Structure 1
Amino acid sequence: MLKVKLDRSETLGLHDQVAAELRRAIAEGEALPGERLPPARDLAAVLAVNRNTVLRALRLLRDEGLLEFRRGRGITVAGTRERGAVVARTKELLEFAREQGYRREELVQIIRTIP
């Protein structure tokens, strides 16, 4: 089972925390490409959160290209460690930029100016 830690006193939503922890697990090689994740209901039970919270986090990671949902095969890790690390760092950069008052579009413009 994956090592996922949640902090209920954190201002970040539980689904975002679950997604961040799964991203970290992929980036650190704890969850490898092709590996099947436990069902959402099992993850929810272990984390003591609602199943919908876990499903929302899993959908975020699917949209990022880190997970695949396949009927009959469950949820598998699609992204590589490298992609997981890049996505995690990008999320950190985006959060930092927001704290500094930048919008996503402004950050993208800054990135485009870097050779």
Structure 2
Amino acid sequence: MLIRIDPTSAVPLGDQVAASVRRAIADGQVVAGEKLPPAREVAESLGINLHTVLRGYQRLRDEGLVDLRRGRGAVLTSAATSGQARIAERAAELVDLARSMGLGEQDVLGLVRSAFQQG
């Protein structure tokens, strides 16, 4: 699996790492049970800090897409093959768009709540 970042983007690098993995999940390039590349290797290949990659992996863990275990690495969970990965990717895109437009978290949450109520 190839993780890509854009160093010229305003999006934090850790978020870009997570987004790259989400994209690979949504595209079917990786499946549940598959191991992500070791954070150290990703950091070296991208020329970024190890902790930046780990932040991206931790974000994926917080979303339920990755299981992080010492000595075992980062393994995709069964949630990674469900629609949850696609929703997480779209949510990240929504947050990026909202930030670029100057909207805050509460503004976006209000819009999402409104969409649920209308739907």
Per the normalisation by structure 2, the TM-score is 0.83
**Partners of 2:7 and 2:102 in 1: how far apart?**
26
- Give the structure 1 partner of residue 87 of structure 2: 86
The gaps in structure 1 that reach 5 residues or longer are none
- Give the structure 2 partner of residue 63 of structure 1: 62
CA RMSD of aligned residues (A): 1.7
Per the normalisation by structure 1, the TM-score is 0.85
- Give the structure 1 partner of residue 26 of structure 2: 27
Structure with greater helix percent:
2
**Partners of 2:8 and 2:110 in 1: how far apart?**
34
Higher mean displacement: 24-33 or 102-111: 102-111
| Closer/same/farther in 2, CA of residues 113 and 14 from structure 1, 3 Å limit | closer
User: Would you say the 8 A contact 2:26–2:86 is kept in 1?
Assistant: yes
**Partners of 1:76 and 1:25 in 2: how far apart?**
14
- State the identity %: 40
The gaps in structure 2 that reach 5 residues or longer are none
Q: How many residues align?
A: 114
